Amino acid sequence: MKEVNPVRLVKLYDTTLRDGAQSEGISYSLDDKILIAHKLDELGVHFIEGGWPSNVKDEAFFKRIKKKPLRSAELTAFAATRRAEVGAENDKSLKNVLGADTKFVTIFGKTWDMHVKEVLKVSLDENLKMIYDTVYFLRKKGREVIYDAEHFFDAYRANPNYALKTILTAQDAGCYNITFCDTNGGAVTSELIRIISEVKNKISAPFGIHTHNDIGLAVANSILAIEAGASLVQGTFNGYGERCGNANLTTIVGILKTKMFIDCIPDAKLKNLTSVSHFISEVSNLKLEPNQPFVGKSAFAHKGGVHINAIMKNPASYEHIDPKVVGNHRRLLVSELAGKTPILLKARELELELDKKSPKARKVLSLLQKLEHEGYQFEAAEASFEILIKKALKKYKNFFELESFRVIIEKRKTGKIVSEATVKVRVNNIEEHTSAEGDGPVNALDNALRKALRDFYPALSKMHLSDFKVRVLDEKAGTAAKVRVLIESKDEKDIWGTVGVSENIIEASWQALVDSVEYKLLKDKKDIHYLKKAEGEK
């Protein structure tokens, strides 16, 4: 990677804890907010917006974080301009902002005359007074003010003279930075850059950019604004936010550091980008999109045989950067499209001898093509593929044998639906028969299977199912259609995927479930200690 431009620094302003929290499906607890703030601080983000101090949870956040302060990031409190006809010193929201006791405060003000007249319902002059009084009051109290010019691009399109007046008013009052906001996320890049070019020479304050992704241009608009001179970029990690989300800071960091060589986080921290993205995804309880640039599971995944062949000769042939730079890794997907190369690589990884021209290689490829024709898919089920290839090469011994299983679904008079699974397995000629309840049939099967095996294989207590997907393969067949079940499992170290296919959803789930359990035992084989029970001493 080229040297980062030592002259140019773009400061990152993260609003995951406020704008990101407005994303559908996200509800951060106080502890969640603290965890995310410290993770962003460790990465080297410059500003972390903690939220509205007027909100009870956010007020508690600002108090709690003082007990374990951020190491380098500046915490910012967020609020609107003072209310109409109320002096700044008497505005309750601004008092709460001061109570948050942060050096930096972010204030948003109305820029669009339509909003001033129809939403605030005040005169254009009164809105200018509200902006000036708010910024000036906070400056007198020793705060640095980042001024968010809300709806700036819509405002400028509707009434350029007034939009310009609002930001000049904030500048005259002494703001630290003026951030142009594409609040509705509808600005086309060419128009956004034209407006910035017209305005930037009319202000003396540094400017920033805050974009939303309603037409899919948030990252592009942010990058072009930086090229036009923005010294601060606002966004959220993983692009979380209301409607279609905010500019994705994860992607922006990747672009700035690896493509534009502009400093934004310390070089040594760039390798943590993927892990931080995944961490925030986990805390947010939202699955990270696999095709997310730089940090997604599929960002450096290769499926086509031609691509895989070229990658093995020169990674630059189909990868724009070395995935290790951002803490990600290359994946070669196993499928009927990929030919023998990924099979050979997986065999090598498993320390199995397999030659490209050998009958064994042809056998595995033929089996793979047959199974994919039946509906199996191994791209997201690498654990199932490992078991498949070992079985095909007769290098695999089952950890247990199924005698039978049964699932009962019962609706009780309370209205609650309960699933109960009974499993009978054999380990080292010892039969184990047990049952367990679950929230659904697959959960019940999982509980019963691990209950039956836990005395033989204690390591199973360290794993759990983390995701479950069902895909109908032939919708025209109705209830007789085949289904493909993908199960994602995890333990304290790894995440792995397994697959099952059948006309019966319970059978497909069982196949994926068994592979998941056996893969856990396979990868932990060296650490498994058999109890006396497993040795035949019942």
pLDDT in tens, 34-68: 999 999 999 999 999 999 999 999 999 999 999 99
Quick one: pLDDT at residue 177? 98
Whole-number Å distance between alpha carbons of 286 and 289: 9
- pLDDT above 70 covers what percent of the chain? 90
> Which pLDDT score is estimated for 348?
67
29-38, 360-369, 422-431, 520-529: which has the minimum mean pLDDT?
A: 520-529
Instruction: Give the separation between CA 1 and CA 194, rounded to whole angstroms.
Output: 32
- Distance separating alpha carbons of residues 222 and 236, to the nearest angstrom: 12
How far CA 97 is from CA of 20, 89, 92, 203, 318, in Å, comes to: 20, 12, 9, 27, 50
- Average pLDDT value for residue range 177-188: 98
Q: Hey, is 510 helix, strand or coil?
A: helix
CA dist 160 and 238 (Å) reads 33
pLDDT grade, residue 182 (50/70/90)?
very high
Neighbouring CB atoms inside 10 A of 420's CB total 17
Rounded Cα distance, 444 and 77, in Å: 47
The pLDDT, as a whole number, for residue 527 is: 46
Chain segment 306-345, per-residue pLDDT in tens = 787 788 788 889 999 999 999 998 877 765 555 556 666 6
Helices (H), 175-272: 189-199, 218-227, 249-258
With H, G, I as helix, E, B as strand and everything else as coil, classify residue 95.
helix
Rounded mean pLDDT, 487-500 = 87
Helix (H) or strand (E) holding 489: strand 483-490
- Which of 107-121, 151-165, 387-401, 419-433 comes out lowest in average pLDDT? 387-401
pLDDT band at 538 (very low <50, low <70, confident <90, very high): very low
Q: What is the pLDDT of residue 128?
A: 98
Question: What is residue 382's predicted lDDT score, i.e. its pLDDT?
Answer: 81
Residue in 311, 316, 297 with CA at minimum distance from that of residue 380:
297
Q: What's residue 343's pLDDT? A: 65
Specify the pLDDT at position 405: 93
Q: pLDDT tens digits for 421-458? A: 999 999 988 999 999 998 889 999 999 999 999 889 99
- Rounded CA-CA distance 17/36 in Å is 8
- Any bridge partners for residue 332, and if so which? 302
Average pLDDT, the chain: 89
- Is pLDDT at 203 greater than 80 in this prediction? yes
Q: How far apart are CA 174 and CA 211, in angstroms?
A: 24
Residue range 110-150, pLDDT digits in tens: 999 999 999 999 999 999 999 999 999 999 999 999 999 99
CATH class of 401-527: alpha beta
pLDDT of res. 352: 64
Q: What is the mean pLDDT of residues 243-271?
A: 97
**Count of C-beta atoms within a 10 Å radius of residue 521:** 19
Q: Which helix (H) or strand (E) holds 390?
A: helix 382-392
Question: Residue 209: is its pLDDT beyond 50?
Answer: yes
pLDDT at 153 over 90: yes
First and final CA of the chain: distance in angstroms?
61
* Residue 528, Cβ density class (10 Å: 0-12 exposed, 13-18 middle, ≥19 buried): middle
User: pLDDT band at 537, cuts 50/70/90?
Assistant: very low
Answer yes or no: is pLDDT of 21 > 90.
yes
Q: CA 57 to CA 524: how far, in whole Å? A: 43
Compute the distance between CA of residue 261 and CA of residue 238 in angstroms, rounded to an integer: 21
265 φ, ψ (degrees, to nearest 5): -135, 160
Half-sphere exposure of residue 327: CA atoms within 13 angstroms, side-chain side: 19
The residue extents of the domains of the chain are: 5-284, 301-392, 401-527
Name the strands in the sheet holding 430-438, side by side, starting at the edge strand that comes first in the sequence.
Answer: 401-411, 417-427, 430-438
* Torsional class of 427: left (φ above 0), alpha (ψ -120 to 50), beta (otherwise): beta
The type of residue at 84 is A
Average pLDDT for 493-522: 91
Q: Tokens 């939202």 belong to which residue? A: 286
Residue 415, Cβ neighbours under 10 Å: how many?
6
Q: How would you classify the pairing of strands 483-490 and 5-9?
A: unpaired
Superfamily of domain 5-284: Aldolase class I (3.20.20.70)
Query: Do residues 231 and 220 lie in contact, with contact meaning Cβ atoms separated by under 8 Å?
Result: no
Residue 6 confidence (pLDDT) above 60: no
Q: What is the DSSP letter of 116?
A: I
Residues 106 and 57: beta-carbon distance below 8 Å: no
Tell me the percentage of the chain whose pLDDT exceeds 90: 64
